[in-house]
Chains A and B, each alone.
Chain A
Amino acid sequence: MAGQGSSLGERFRLSIAPQADLDCIRRILAGEKQLFHELIRPCEKPIYFLLLSMLKNEADAEDAAQETAIKVYRNLHLFRGDSQFRTWVLSIARNEGLGRLRKLGSLREDSLDAETDDTTGDYTPAVLTSWREIPAEIIERQQLGEILRQAVQKLPEIYRNVVLLRDIEEMDIRETATALAISEAAVKVRLHRARAMLQRDLAPKLKGFAPKRRWFWGRA
Chain B
Amino acid sequence: MMIDCKHVWDHISAYIDGDLDPVLRAEINKHLETCEICSAVLDSTRNVVVLVADDRVFELPAGFSQRLHQRLDEELTAGPPEQPEG
Chain A positions near chain B (C-beta within 8 angstroms): 1-4, 8-9, 11-12, 28-29, 31, 33-34, 36-37, 40-41, 44-45, 48-49, 58, 62, 65-66, 69-70, 73-77, 124-131, 133-134, 136, 139-140, 144-145, 148-149, 151-152, 163, 167-168, 170, 173, 188, 191-192, 195-196, 198-199, 202-203, 206
Contacts and interface: CB of A to CB of B under 8 A. Distances in A.
Interface string B42-86: 011111111111111110110011011101100110001111100
Nearest to A192: B13
Contacts of A4: 54-55
Contacts of B13: 188, 191-192, 195-196
6 contacts: A1-B53, A29-B80, A49-B58, A77-B81, A139-B56, A198-B49
Contacts of A198: 45, 48-49, 52
Given A131-B44, A133-B43, A195-B45, A66 B54 contact: no
B60 A44 contact: yes
Nearest to B81: A76
B44 A73 contact: no
A4 B14 CA distance: 23
A111 to B, nearest CB: 21
A4 B45 CA distance: 18
B76 A36 contact: yes
Contacts of B64: 44, 48, 62, 65
Interface residues of B, number: 46
A125 B41 contact: yes
Contacts of A196: 9, 12-13, 45
A148 B52 contact: yes
Q: Which 7 A-B pairs have CB atoms at the shortest separation, nearest pair first?
A: A192-B13, A128-B40, A2-B53, A131-B43, A131-B40, A77-B84, A131-B44
Given A12-B18, A168-B58, 7 more contacts: A8-B50, A44-B60, A73-B76, A75-B82, A129-B37, A163-B52, A198-B49
Contacts of A66: 67-68, 71-72
Contacts of B68: 44, 62, 65-66, 69
Contacts of A130: 36, 40
Contact of B9 (A76, A125, A163, A202): A125
A117 to B, nearest CB: 14
Contacts of B21: none
Contact of A195 (B37, B43, B48, B84): B48
Contacts of B55: 1-4
Contact of B49 (A9, A36, A70, A195): A195
